[in-house]
Amino acid sequence: MIPQDVVKLPIAKHESDWRWQLKNMLRSEQDFASLINLTDREREAFQKTQGLFRTGATPYYAGLMDKSNPHCPIRRQTIPLPEECNTKSYEWNDPLGEEPRRAASSVVHKYPDRVLFLVVDRCAIYCRHCNRRRLVGGDAPPTRDEVEQGLEYIRRHGRIRDVLLSGGDPLLLSNKRLAYIIGELRKINHVEIIRIGTRLPVVCPMRIDEELCSILKENHPLYINTHFNHVKEITEETKRACNMLADAGVPLGNQTVLLRGINSSVQSLRALFRGLLAMRVKPYYLFQGDTVVGTDHLRTNVETAIDLMAGLRGYVTGMAMPHLAIDIPGGMGKVPIMKQYIVEQNEREVVLQNYRGVTVSYPQPELADATVPYDAVYFAGQPADDDSVPASDFGDAY
């Protein structure tokens, strides 16, 4: 239920233009003070965090803020707090280890068969938990030459099956520019999947229009992962945007970041994941917060994360269960974490505990050999699909 002081007014016609939203982003203490009642701590943070990380949000997203309650999840994701200045010794500027794995200026090649393609450096919101705050902000966007170098790198490396467009937010590119990049990728025979990581369906849903959906529809298989963190972000506008994408045949996933005091309750996560499914968005990842500078106050401990996931299992459909994962600092990759449901295991049985704490024995089969004989026929002559190839095959970053 939305408190009375945050009931949204109908969006005016000019406000429904995504370009107007970007042009009129709220950025300063004065901008936000005209909309909400800033606390002394929030005002202090605006002063202390200058030069550390940008503040900014579209008028649409800022309009979802509770004007009086500083614990509002929209405010907490947008407005800085003084704790951002308390950098810890274990925090990183580049927690995912992307910089050492830059195979080209715009390409990060961390996994054997897929790359991260950084095509823009701007966002429609500067999230306080951003793990790429060293890059985003609109000061040094990838040049056309850098994007062309990235395309050429992808063309040259036949092991790349999956390209993730990110940044910044790729949907901030013009339709013409976006169509060009996606079109060039689609011409590459070994690129099977194109993915786009974007928060615009959440913070600027009016960006999703017929022209954009037409471009995406022409370039399948194409997937979009978006970034809803709280059920309050699910509005009639975001429903419309996600339904348009789904109607264009775009499979939608969501990557939620677990944020202490913002969505770190069973009630909040259940409501979010149910709401996402209702608008055809599959909860994909629930990420433990990355160890990026200035965000320690936003992270939960791992035990809390595991307990929260246990509070979902059995109470929401399996379709609403994301992978709980940690992206290991230093670029070592994602690792799933979960409550241990195996109580005991031997060659005769596995004793399991269900979501209600009841233990049940599952009998092991007599035959343990799981070899697939036909693999030798069907995959004959194909190289091993693993990391055993020379490091040089992944590019200059290795």
Q: Please enumerate in sequence order all residues whose Cβ is within 8 A of that of 111, keeping only pairs 6 or more positions apart, or say none.
A: 333
Q: Where are the domains of the chain?
A: 99-336
Residue 147 contacts residue 317 (beta carbons within 8 Å):
no
**Whole-angstrom Cα distance, residue 279 to residue 241?**
9
Helices marked H in 208-319 = 210-217, 236-247, 266-278, 302-310
| Type and span of the H or E element at 272 | helix 266-278
Q: How many CB atoms lie within 10 A of CB 124?
A: 24
Residue type, 344: E
Q: Please enumerate in sequence order all residues whose Cβ is within 8 A of that of 380, keeping only pairs 6 or more positions apart, or say none.
A: none
Residue 315 contacts residue 286 (beta carbons within 8 Å):
no
Q: Which residues pair with 223 in a beta bridge?
A: 195
Residue 60 contacts residue 206 (beta carbons within 8 Å):
yes
Residue 104 contacts residue 81 (beta carbons within 8 Å):
no
**Whole-angstrom Cα distance, residue 382 to residue 379?**
6
Supply the Cα-derived Rg of the chain in whole angstroms.
Answer: 22
Torsion of CA 54, 59, 38, 130, to 10 degrees: -30
**Per-residue tens of pLDDT for the chain, all 398 residues:** 444 454 454 566 678 899 999 999 999 999 999 999 999 999 999 999 988 889 999 999 999 999 999 999 999 999 999 999 999 999 988 888 889 999 999 999 999 999 999 999 999 999 999 998 888 876 778 899 999 999 999 999 999 999 999 989 999 999 999 999 999 999 999 999 999 999 999 999 999 999 999 999 999 999 999 999 999 999 999 999 999 999 999 999 999 999 999 999 999 999 999 999 999 999 999 999 999 999 999 999 999 999 999 999 999 999 999 999 999 988 888 999 988 899 999 999 999 999 899 999 999 999 999 999 999 999 999 887 766 544 455 444 44
This prediction has a pTM of 0.90
Q: Provide the CATH topology of domain 99-336.
A: TIM Barrel (3.20.20)
**Whole-angstrom Cα distance, residue 224 to residue 245?**
9
What is the three-class DSSP state of 342? strand
Tokens representing 7 are 């009931």
DSSP 301-314: PHHHHHHHHHTTBT
